Amino acid sequence: MVPVLFFIVDNPKIRLQKYLSETGVCSRRASEQLILEGKVFVNGTRVTELGTKVTPDVDRVLVEGHVVKARRKIYLALYKPRNVVCTRSDPQGRPTVMDFIPPEMSHVYPVGRLDYDSEGLILLTSDGEFCNRITHPSKGIDKIYYVEVKGAISRETISQMLNGVHHQGDFLKASAVDVLKTNNTRTCMAITLREGKNREIRRILDCLQLIVLVLRREQVGPVKLDKMTLGKWRLLTKTEIQLLLGI
């Protein structure tokens, strides 16, 4: 007689914040904040401990009264206009990137940030793990900006941008600087950042007493602004997603 083998397949438990990010609620960091604020319930019980684990498709999870369900993962590129905030909402009532996204994709959130007074490429996704990988400093994804400053700049100034400056406790530096055009009235450059600290380019240029006229993010990793128009969005290609994830 051939023995009959029975296999029990476990549905492994995962951390609650990871589950929330994987189901597209928000990023893992934002999920942790929701948990700490007591806005997440598991099987009817309020959870405030970050070490809590859940079993997907078994435990019932609610966030602010809404049942968490897995949704199709979405990856977008948006040409953000100036004077728009890179958050899902703004307490001051300013326009946000979500104002440019269709309602059926309203569960996406920004990957990283782009200054309020800058324009250019911003990625949005409903995939929390994708967001974590792209924004982690160790990933080292290049971000390229088109920048115009007032007047001509010297080689010494470019060297300072590449060697780095200290500002408010941060060490800031450009990975590459390519001068596209220069004269006595303005200089046009392509500046590459690898880390992307808050307002990094503006802070570097401010330290060097340069006045910014135009600042536009043109590229994030393999994703380019290209022919996108202001305020418009598009889906990332499969190749772009794979390249960003290093697959």
pLDDT for 196 equals 72
pLDDT of res. 143: 94
What pLDDT was estimated at residue 140?
A: 76
How is domain 75-136+226-245 classified at the architecture level of CATH?
2-Layer Sandwich (3.30)
* Averaged pLDDT, groups of 10, the chain, 247 residues long: 42 85 80 93 93 87 87 91 94 96 89 93 91 78 95 95 92 95 95 87 95 96 95 96 85
Q: In whole angstroms, what is the distance from residue 129 CA to residue 69 CA?
A: 16
- CATH 3.10.290.10 occupies which residues in the chain? 14-67
Long-range contacts of 230-234 (CB under 8 A, 24+ apart): 230/79, 230/81, 230/119, 231/79, 231/80, 231/81, 231/100, 232/78, 232/79, 232/100, 233/76, 233/77, 233/78, 233/79, 233/100, 233/101, 233/124, 234/76, 234/77
CATH architecture for residues 14-67? Roll (3.10)
Give catalytic status of residue 99 as yes or no.
no
- Prediction pTM value: 0.75
Contact yes or no for 50/33 (Cβ under 8 A): no
- The per-residue pLDDT for 3 is 42
Q: At what angle do helices 28-36 and 128-135 cross, to 10 degrees?
A: 110
Q: State the catalytic residue, choosing from 57, 115, 127, 178.
A: 115
pLDDT at 6: 38
Q: What is residue 33's predicted lDDT score, i.e. its pLDDT?
A: 92
The hierarchical CATH code for the domain 142-220 is 3.30.2350.10
